[in-house]
Chain A
Amino acid sequence: MERIGRAWNSDFVWSFRHSPVAVVSLALVLVLVLSAVFAPLIAPYDPFDPASLNLMNGFSKPMEPNTFTGDVFWLGTDDQGRDVFSTILYGMRISLFVGFTAVLFALILGVSLGLIAGYVGGWTETAIMRVADVQLTFPAILVAMLIFGIAKGITPVHMRDEMAIWVLIIAIGLSDWVQFARVVRGATLVEKNKEYVQAAKLIGRKPGAIMLRHILPNVLSPVLVIATISLALAIIAEATLSFLGVGAPPTQPSLGTLICIGQGYLFSGEWWIILYPSITLLALALSVNLLGDWLRDTLNPKLR
Chain B
Amino acid sequence: MLAYSIRRVVQSIVVLLVVGLVAFSMFRFVGDPIDNMLGQERTDADIERLRGELGLDRPFVVQYGRFLTNAATGNLGVSYRQGRPVASILMERAPATLELAAVSGLFAIVLGVALGVFTAIRRNGIAANLIMTISLVGVSLPTFLIGILLIYLFAVELGWLPSFGRGDTVKLGGWSTGFLTSSGLKALILPSITLGLYQMTLIMRLVRSEMLEVLRAEYIRFARARGLRERAINFHHALKNTLVPVITVTGLQLGSIIAFAIITETVFQWPGVGLLFINAIQFVDIPVMAAYLMLISVMFVGINLIVDLLYFAIDPRLRVDRTVTEG
Query: Residues of A at under 8 Å CB distance from B?
Result: 134, 137-139, 141-142, 145-146, 148-150, 152-154, 236, 239-240, 243-246, 259, 263, 266-267, 271, 274, 278, 281-282, 285-286, 289
Contacts and interface: CB of A to CB of B under 8 A. Distances in A.
A246 B278 CA distance: 7
Interface stretch (B86-94, B120-128, B228-236, B295-303): B295-303
Given A149-B281, A153-B286, A246-B281, A138 B145 contact: no
Interface stretch (B61-69, B104-112, B243-251, B255-263): B255-263
A149 B148 contact: no
A286 B140 contact: yes
Contacts of A243: 144, 266
Interface residues of B, number: 39
Interface in B260-304: 260, 262-263, 266-267, 277-278, 280-282, 284, 286, 289, 293, 296-297, 300-301, 304
A91 B161 CA distance: 32
Given A138-B297, A145-B262, A244-B263, A259 B148 contact: yes
A244 B278 contact: yes
Nearest to A237: B142
Contacts of A139: 255-256, 259-260
Interface string B141-181: 11111001001100010000001000000000000000000
Contact of A146 (B15, B152, B293): B293
B-side interface mostly: helix
Contact of A152 (B15, B278, B281): B281
A149 B280 contact: yes
A31 B301 CA distance: 44
Given A139-B256, A239-B144, A245-B266, 5 more contacts: A142-B262, A153-B284, A240-B263, A244-B263, A245-B282
B293 A137 contact: no
A259 B278 contact: no
B282 A137 contact: no
Contacts of A137: 15, 297, 300-301, 304
B31 interface: yes
B26 interface: yes
Contacts of A145: 262, 277-278, 281
A145 B280 CA distance: 11
Given A245-B282, A263-B148, A267-B156, A154 B140 contact: no
A259 B151 contact: no
B281 A148 contact: yes
Contacts of A271: 152
Contacts of A149: 280-281, 284, 289
B13 interface: no
A134 B18 contact: yes
6 contacts: A134-B19, A137-B304, A149-B280, A236-B142, A263-B148, A282-B145
B77 to A, nearest CB: 15
A284 B140 CA distance: 11
Interface centre among A146, A154, A278, A281, by most B CB within 10 Å? A146
Contact of B148 (A138, A141, A278): A278
B30 interface: yes
